[in-house]
Chains A and B, each alone.
Chain A
Amino acid sequence: MAMAVLRREGRRVLLSSPSPAAAMAARSPAVSQPEIAPLGARSISTQVVRNRMKSVKNIQKITKAMKMVAASKLRAVQIRTENSRGLWQPFTALLGDAPNVDVKKNVIVAITSDKGLCGGINSTSVKVSKALHKLTSGPEKESKYVILGEKGKVQLIRDSKQSIEMTVSELQKNPINYTQIAVLADDILKNVKFDALRVVFNKFESVISFKPTMTTILSPEVMEKESESGGKVGDLDSYEIEGGETKSEILQNLTEFQFSCVLYNGALENACSELGARMSAMDSSSRNAGDMLDRLTLTYNRTRQASITTELIEIISGASALEG
């Protein structure tokens, strides 16, 4: 009789104020409500916590695996990146780098990644590109974007859709090679009119650090003008130019070759930074998942212990009531 009253009482309590377990269940729809607290149950159900622990454990497994994959890929890409660093140096030695050159048509080539979960490298690329866009656009000047990689496109399309000239994605489906980049560079040079190309990428420093970097490539006409006026592109006039019909023809070949080389190095540097950033991001999320799992385990064990204690008390008090 007393038990029945208690049971009814319990049900009323359950109906009037949803338990914390029920609140949690609302967040994870995979668990259906009746399972959590069967009618008349006095102990708190640990089902939800168990499910949550399982999912956290799975997430941790995934992030750990992603970290391993990134680490093993990184090693190969890092070697290639370091080997490609020699490629742009002769051009810089010859032409210098003129980031502050003031021209009419600026094209910002932003190199980003196709996949996410790699920390802040895409947002740094995008942020630098946006700042550059602001700096280089003005009255009588225009500034356009060429975006490599899906993530940069997604971020830039939101507020500067009309300035996007072209986008290319799936750059890293195959390991980056020079031929592929040369074709891509050719495509950009054919379809985009520019006075200055500004290639934005993340330069790989170490696994935990990368630096947003910009390289400026001038069009042959601008280069000729700047070198004649003794401007920012070194003393190109002191060089004898051999071969080809005219000087401008050679300069055109030179700038196109420079662009492909810079783009090649930039794409590799960015791929390398992406893997490094992914590695550290996945490392910290595995650690976070571990912490969370520890907390959940603690809660789970405490609750379990509490319910056992309650049951024991019930049994003992029931027995003593019968005796007395």
Chain B
Amino acid sequence: MKPRPPTPASIPTKLTVNFVLPYKSEIDNKEVDMVIVPATTGQMGVLPGHVATITELKPGVLSVHEGNDVTKYFVSSGFAFVHANSVADIVAVEAVPVDQIDPSLVQKGLAEFTAKLGSASTDLEKAEAQIGVDVHSALNAALAG
């Protein structure tokens, strides 16, 4: 592994981002202006010079801003680490570009899991259905936004 750069004295203008998935390194050491990550506490914008943070991710939209280009991914879950040297590491279990999501399937899945949540009898079933509903509503919101 490449050694990470030391913390610079002044805040750099760009943020270095690593975005990895189990099957791929989606973004590798790329300099961007800003990323917005779906933290469990709410959307979190990360600019260069952000305070060092560890945060868990929830299903939601990760957007990478680079000049006028914005790349949007839908991530399922994972972790984001922001280091003091303006390097952000994002580890996700699964991520897809938002424009590859099929809206009709999302609606169908949402209806399915809502029905399941209504008919769930055990705690496990309930929790599973709740996760399904959460993910699909987040997908829905991502498509709407």
Q: Are B89's CB and A84's CB within 8 A?
A: no
- Answer whether residue A323 sits at the interface, using C-beta atoms and an 8 A cutoff: no
Q: Are B53's CB and A242's CB within 8 A?
A: yes
B interface vs A, CB < 8 Å?
Answer: 1, 4, 18, 20-25, 28, 39-41, 44, 51-56, 78-79, 81, 83-84, 87, 89-91, 93
Most chain-B Cβ atoms within 10 A of its Cβ — which of A83, A239, A254? Answer: A239
11 CB contacts below 8 A, A to B, read A84-B23, A90-B18, A93-B81, A94-B83, A238-B52, A239-B53, A241-B54, A242-B39, A242-B56, A243-B56, A250-B56
Closest residue of chain A to B57 (Cβ to Cβ) is: A243
Q: Are A90's CB and B52's CB within 8 A?
A: no
- Answer whether residue A28 sits at the interface, using C-beta atoms and an 8 A cutoff: no
Q: Kindly provide the distance from the CB of B77 to the nearest chain A CB, expressed in whole angstroms.
A: 9
Q: Kindly provide the distance from the CB of B17 to the nearest chain A CB, expressed in whole angstroms.
A: 11
Which A residues lie within 8 Å of B56 (CB)?
A: 242-244, 250, 253-254
Closest residue of chain B to A89 (Cβ to Cβ) is: B1
Q: Are A240's CB and B1's CB within 8 A?
A: no
With A178-B22, A243-B55, A250-B56 as contacts: A90 and B81 at CB distance below 8 Å? yes
Contact residue among B20, B22, B53, B93 (Cβ-Cβ distance under 8 Å from A240): B53
Closest residue of chain A to B52 (Cβ to Cβ) is: A239
Which A residues lie within 8 Å of B89 (CB)?
A: 89-90, 93-94
Q: Are B23's CB and A240's CB within 8 A?
A: no
Most chain-B Cβ atoms within 10 A of its Cβ — which of A84, A86, A182, A244? Answer: A86
- Answer whether residue A261 sits at the interface, using C-beta atoms and an 8 A cutoff: yes
- Answer whether residue A300 sits at the interface, using C-beta atoms and an 8 A cutoff: no
Q: Kindly provide the distance from the CB of A175 to the nearest chain B CB, expressed in whole angstroms.
A: 11
Contact residue among B23, B28, B54, B78 (Cβ-Cβ distance under 8 Å from A94): B54
Interface size for A (C-beta < 8 A) is: 28
Q: Kindly provide the distance from the CB of A32 to the nearest chain B CB, expressed in whole angstroms.
A: 57
Bound CA span A87–B24, Å: 8
Interface SS of A by simple majority: helix
Most chain-B Cβ atoms within 10 A of its Cβ — which of A85, A91, A94, A177? Answer: A94
- Answer whether residue A80 sits at the interface, using C-beta atoms and an 8 A cutoff: yes
A interface vs B, CB < 8 Å?
Answer: 80, 83-87, 89-94, 177-178, 182, 238-244, 250, 253-254, 257, 261, 264
Which B residues lie within 8 Å of A254 (CB)?
A: 54, 56, 79
Bound CA span A84–B90, Å: 14
Bound CA span A216–B90, Å: 21
Contact residue among A92, A178, A182, A253 (Cβ-Cβ distance under 8 Å from B23): A178
Q: Are A242's CB and B28's CB within 8 A?
A: no
Q: Are A242's CB and B22's CB within 8 A?
A: no
Closest residue of chain B to A182 (Cβ to Cβ) is: B93
Bound CA span A239–B93, Å: 23
Bound CA span A32–B54, Å: 75
Q: Are B54's CB and A250's CB within 8 A?
A: yes
Q: Are A243's CB and B41's CB within 8 A?
A: yes
Which B residues lie within 8 Å of A89 (CB)?
A: 1, 18, 20, 89
Q: Kindly provide the distance from the CB of A77 to the nearest chain B CB, expressed in whole angstroms.
A: 12
Q: Are A242's CB and B20's CB within 8 A?
A: no
Q: Kindly provide the distance from the CB of B141 to the nearest chain A CB, expressed in whole angstroms.
A: 19
